[in-house]
Amino acid sequence: MPYSVSPIGFVRSCFKEKFAIPRQPQLAPAARGVLELLAPFDTGEAVQGLEQVSHVWLLFLFHQALQDQPRLKVRPPRLGGNKSVGVFATRATHRPNGIGQSVVQLDKVEPGKLWLSGIDLLDGTPVLDIKPYVPYADSVASACNRIADGAPLLIEVQWQDAALGQARSHGLRLDQPLVELIEQCLAQDPRPAYQLPPPERRYGTRLWDVDVRWHYPEPGKICVLEVVET
């Protein structure tokens, strides 16, 4: 029997496209956004008390990955993209009902608006529910996951001088930690594992209102080439 749900709000995020969004929350603390609540949740009443909470769970829709036919097996990037496992053993975006969940830092609460950081959500993501993180219940000291047993290994991020200057000045203009955001996201190595990046190949993504371009001067190293307003 189908049940229907409707968004309680939408996230305005630094991530304007899927490529280079970290694969989980907390991996890029400089990734910020605002959850804008819809009526009747926008008056302040529904978030009253939330200022006592440092982190929240967001339940949301992977609105840019919704599919009619649910996949039973997926190939997580974590396993190199060439090994398949059951969808319920992963946090893949293509899943039955397309529901995602992320623990994010709650920086500020205003009527109708929650200011968030450490997010892994695309701009425009519809949010279905917000729940306070409850450390004694949500943090399991004995937990293990042999598929994803630790945060991804980081790679070195270098800058061309001009690109660093551009990122600093756009960061000041936007009043956002843009240099940190770029470094934290690119250090996760967003490239699909099966792609061997020749140095002449350019990669790019959009953060806030800037295009960020980079390449791999050698395997395991990223160099940021330019950061320009879109």
Interface residues with ligand SAM (CB under 6 A) are 18, 21, 23-25, 62-65, 91, 93, 100-102, 120-122, 125
Nearest approach, Cβ of residue 6 and ligand SAM (Å): 16
Surface-to-core class of residue 182, CB atoms within 10 Å of its CB (0-12 exposed, 13-18 middle, 19+ buried): buried
Q: What is the Cα–Cα distance from 65 to 190, expressed in whole angstroms?
A: 18
User: For ligand SAM, which is the closer residue by CB, 120 or 166?
Assistant: 120
Nearest approach, Cβ of residue 104 and ligand SAM (Å): 9
Nearest approach, Cβ of residue 157 and ligand SAM (Å): 18
Residue 168 main-chain phi, psi, to 5 deg: -65, -45
Nearest approach, Cβ of residue 117 and ligand SAM (Å): 14
Residue 172: Cβ within 10 Å count: 10
User: For ligand SAM, which is the closer residue by CB, 12 or 63?
Assistant: 63
Determine the 3-state secondary structure of 77 from DSSP.
Answer: helix
User: For ligand SAM, which is the closer residue by CB, 64 or 97?
Assistant: 64
Contact between 40 and 19 (Cβ < 8 Å): no
User: For ligand SAM, which is the closer residue by CB, 9 or 166?
Assistant: 9
User: For ligand SAM, which is the closer residue by CB, 116 or 163?
Assistant: 116
Nearest approach, Cβ of residue 200 and ligand SAM (Å): 26
Q: What is the Cα–Cα distance from 224 to 177, expressed in whole angstroms?
A: 16
Q: What is the Cα–Cα distance from 6 to 60, expressed in whole angstroms?
A: 10
What is the C-alpha radius of gyration for the chain, rounded to an integer number of angstroms?
Answer: 19
